[in-house]
Structure formats: structure tokens, C-alpha cells
Structure 1
Amino acid sequence: MLIETEKTPNPATLKFLLHRPVMERESRYFVNKEEAADSPLAVALFDLQHVTAVFYGRDFISVTLDSPSLWSNLESKIIMIISDHFDNDIPLLVENFEKNEIKDHDEEDDVILQIKDLIDSRVRPAVARDGGDIVFQKFEDGIVYLSMRGACAGCPSSVATLKQGVETLLKHFVPEIKEVRAI
């Protein structure tokens, strides 16, 4: 299996391009081994010392280390773990379902639907190129709450991306929005 790597704006996170689907629908983000219990691949990656986060995108996996200086020692080991996992046809999730991480709302009004559409069509593809994801959580009192995942979580430029990019875009199209916050 050919796996390419790509740097992200977050120096502690590296993006592993698989050139095949990883997740069919939503993304998954794990920040420790216990949280990753339903994913044999994420558990194997957390077994490596210094791995602090694993993110599954549509066609890539991002891995975050506790120190960017360790990439020279761990990059090839991570590639080998990912390659072995897919070469051996091990399921990505043991329950073989994809958890929808966008919280369901009983009655989604037009504003929420418009926000989700803008995030899905304009924001998520852009941040996926950098190895991350931004997921809608809720809209209340004019504030959009988003969850930063993958390379976006803890990235030095994520605050600027959120405020100058995402907030500006959403406010332009949805005048009901007063602010965008990360949770």
C-alpha cells in the first residue's frame, strides 16, 4: 500500500494520505487509547509512545505527537502500522459502524441547516487539506459552536482560521450569527 505523508500547519501533526477511503461519512477523532477502544488501528498507534491524537478523515489519517521533533523517529513506524492494518483487511472500527459525530437536533431550523451546509461544503474540504476537520456542534443565542479535530486541534493557526476564515464566511451568509467559538 502506498502511503504518502504531508505536513500540516500544526507542526506536531502529520497527515498520512492513503489514496483510498478511510471513513465513508463522518470523521473520527481520538485523543487517548481508551477513547479509541473501538478502533484497532488507533489503539495500535496509541501504543507508540508520544502519540497524543489520531484523526480519521475521508481519505487520510492524521497523527499528532507530543513533540514535533520526534517525527524523524516515528514516521516510518506509523506508516508501517497503517499499512499493515489495511493490508490485513482489519476493520477500522470493531463494531463496523461510523459514529455520526455531528449532534442531532430534534428540530433543525433553516439557520442550522444553512450553517451545516456552509461548513460541509466550504469549510471542511479546506481544513481536510491540512489534515483536520471542523465539526458543527450547536447554534445558540447567535453563537456557532464548532469542534476542531485532527491537525486543527491545538494548531497555532487554528484560532486565526476560526475567527478570520470560518466566522467571516458564516457571518457573510448567515446574518443571524454573532460569533463562532471552538469547544
Structure 2
Amino acid sequence: MFIETETTPNPATLKFLPGQEVMPSGTRDFRDETEAAASPLAEALFSLGDVTGVFFGFNFVSVTAGEGADWSALKPQVVAILLDHFVSQAPLFHAASGNGIAVPAEEDADYGDDPADADVVAQIKELLETRIRPAVANDGGDIAYRGFREGVVYLSMQGACSGCPSSTATLKHGIESLLKHYVPEVSEVRAA
């Protein structure tokens, strides 16, 4: 088995591609060791000490290193853990933790939608699914819809995109421009 590695716009995060499906549906973002307890793979990665974030996408794992971590030393350790996991065909999640589909953390609670905006929300979600999420996944992350209120779309960045120096520019100049172009009711995009 060969695991490819790609850089991401976030210098603290690398994207690892095992050449097979990681998550059959949804995504999962682990921000600390407590959250990682749901997954043997995430636990093993956090046990390295320098890992501060793990993100599972459809066919990749993004790993974020803490400030001052040396990727030249950490990368081979991450690859070894990923190889062990995928070669052994170990489960991605502990049986008691469910299927692992992304569940918003309490601080990521939905902002809610006005039922009168159902058509606008459907257009926004369609654009997110077809245009935005695939592009963000290429960078080792994901974006989650949180709500639409009074012209403002609330989105949450995950994986490599969370904490990325260019995430604000991505939201404001890329995603906001695209949504405003196709959905005139959108006046602004904010990080949730």
C-alpha cells in the first residue's frame, strides 16, 4: 500500500491519501483527544503528541500539527499509523461510537432557518454540495452549512480549512462571491 501526501493551504496541515475510501459518507473532524476517543485511528494519531487535529474525508485523512511541530519528523510517524490502520482493515470507529458521520459540536450549533427562506436555503445547499465542498475537500477540509438568516449565510470550516490563514479570504472572496452571484438574496457569508 502506498499513501500519498499533499500539502494544503494551511501550513500546519497535511492531507494523506491512502488510495481507498476513508469515510463512506459524511466527514468527521476531531479537534482534541477527547473527541478522538471515538476512533482508534484518530486516537493513534493524537497519541503522537504533536497532532492537534484529525479530519476524515471521503478518501483522505488530514492531520494538523501543533505550533512548532517538525513535519519532517512527524510525517513518517503519521504514515506508519495510517499504513497499519488501512493494511489491517481495522474499523474507523469504535462500535459504541456509531457510524462516525459528522455531528456538529455544541459550539457549531445551527443558526436556524426561516421556513419562508426554504427555496433560498435549497439553492445555497445545492451550490455548497456541487461547487464549494468538492473544492474545499481538495484542500483537505470541508465546509458545513449552519444557517441562513436575514441574508447572511453561516458556514463552518473543518479539517485543514479550520484555522487556515487563508480561510477568511476563502469565505469572503471565494464562497461569498459565488453565493451572491447565484443567489441574490445572499448579502454576506460569515464563519460560524
TM-score with structure 2 length normalisation? 0.89
Distance 2:113 2:18 in 1: 33
Structure 2 residue aligned with 1:67? 67
Structure 1 counterpart of 2:144, one-letter code: V
Structure 2 residue aligned with 1:97? 99
8 Å Cα contact 1:18-1:59 kept in structure 2: yes
Structure 1 residue aligned with 2:31? 31
What is the aligned counterpart of 1:172 among 143, 162, 181? 181
Deviations 1:131-165 (A, max 9, x none): 11111111112111111011111111111111000
What is the aligned counterpart of 1:143 among 149, 152, 155? 152
TM-score with structure 1 length normalisation? 0.93
Structure 2 residue aligned with 1:22? 22
Q: How many residues are aligned here?
A: 183
Q: Which is worse superposed, 50-59 or 102-111?
A: 102-111
Identity of aligned residues (%): 54
Structure 1 residue aligned with 2:107? none
Distance 1:178 1:106 in 2: 16
Structure 2 residue aligned with 1:113? 122
Relative distance call for 1:44 and 1:69 in structure 2 (3 A) is closer
Structure 1 ranges of 4+ moved more than 3 A: 100-108
Q: Aligned-pair distance for 1:100?
A: 4.2
Q: Which is worse superposed, 110-119 or 53-62?
A: 110-119
CA RMSD of aligned residues (A): 1.9
Deviations 1:14-47 (A, max 9, x none): 0001111111111110110101211110011111
Relative distance call for 1:106 and 1:39 in structure 2 (3 A) is farther
8 Å Cα contact 1:26-1:101 kept in structure 2: no
Structure 2 residue aligned with 1:76? 76
8 Å Cα contact 2:29-2:102 kept in structure 1: no
Structure 2 counterpart of 1:16, one-letter code: F
Unaligned runs of 5+ in 1: none
Unaligned runs of 5+ in 2: 105-109
Relative distance call for 1:33 and 1:162 in structure 2 (3 A) is same
